[in-house]
Amino acid sequence: MHPIVKLVTQRLALGLLLLFAASVLIFLGTQILPGDVAQAILGQSATPEALANMRAEMGLDRPAITRYFEWLFNALQGDLGTALSNGRDITESIASRLTNTLFLASVAAVVSVPLAIFLGLFAVRFRDRWPDRLISAITLTSISLPEFLLGYIMMYVFAVKLSWFPSVSTINDSMSFLEKLNAVALPALVLTLVVLAHMMRMTRAAILNVMQSAYIETAELKGLRRFNVIARHAMPNSIAPIVNVVMLNLAYLVVGVVVIEVVFVYPGMGQYLVDHVSKRDVPVVQACGLIFATIYIGLNLVADVVSILSNPRLRHPK
């Protein structure tokens, strides 16, 4: 078997194993939550008989392992169950919320990924000079601030004082693409500032590591412009660690948007999850956790596969 095929197969098998382990942890985590779902639905005045009937109706009287495999089997078929708080189908409710979260993450990614790579290249070009120090200082400041604080600062400056963007990021299907972009501008800006520093610094570090190679010195001795040496010779050989950090941050843009969505009242997966955690709606929490785990593990698998394919020793084995 070709080394690349073998490694990719191993990574895919490991990803499925991790996803299975994550589903077990998600199910167990929701089972050990304090409180009683039946009590939360019926209220404190419910009789023991009513509570027992409600638990039996929801299947909570069955063994946990039976309920887990039933939930996992249904989830694999696209059936995430029914929300306890409103009786709605979770799959239908999540579809629009997930679309909104992916739209916000995509806007932030389109801005942050190219900008981070360019700033990383620019910082290497002017290494240890004032542009490098200025870029590092600004990005480190943005990543050091808590997300909610950065969000409120942006809201105060651009929504309250300047009135450039709305403070509440509400979107719906009737809005045009430009209207949606205007609505998500502030949360996308905050997400960009949060992930920019990590990607930029990893790009800078990876390229600087390659810049110490002998072939880079040869290219410089030939009289090539320094930026061309960095972009055309150092950058392609730094792609593996850069792809890894980009994918990690893309996963964060989807999975880690809970705080940002709550701050800007954005109708995405994070807001949906928080709303139903407060109601102790276990099926919704399980469904959101499984979707987040799938996206995070899937993007990391993509990063692993790209890293494998970018390795010339694996592409051209002796």
- In whole angstroms, what is the distance from residue 271 CA to residue 186 CA? 16
Residue 75, phi then psi, degrees to nearest 5 = -65, -35
Segments making up each domain of the chain, as ranges: 93-278
Is the confidence at residue 225, as pLDDT, over 80?
A: no
Highest-confidence segment of 30-44, 209-223, 281-295: 281-295
Is the confidence at residue 213, as pLDDT, over 60?
A: yes
- In whole angstroms, what is the distance from residue 312 CA to residue 237 CA? 10
Helix %, strand %, coil % of the chain (to 5)? 75, 0, 25
Is the confidence at residue 106, as pLDDT, over 80?
A: yes
- In whole angstroms, what is the distance from residue 249 CA to residue 194 CA? 9
**Which residue is associated with the tokens 């304090």?**
34
CATH class for the region spanning 93-278 = mainly alpha
Is the confidence at residue 34, as pLDDT, over 70?
A: no
- In whole angstroms, what is the distance from residue 282 CA to residue 40 CA? 11
- Give the confidence band of 57 by pLDDT, cuts at 50, 70, 90: low
Is the confidence at residue 87, as pLDDT, over 80?
A: no
H or E segment and range at residue 99: helix 90-125
Average pLDDT over the chain, rounded to whole?
A: 78
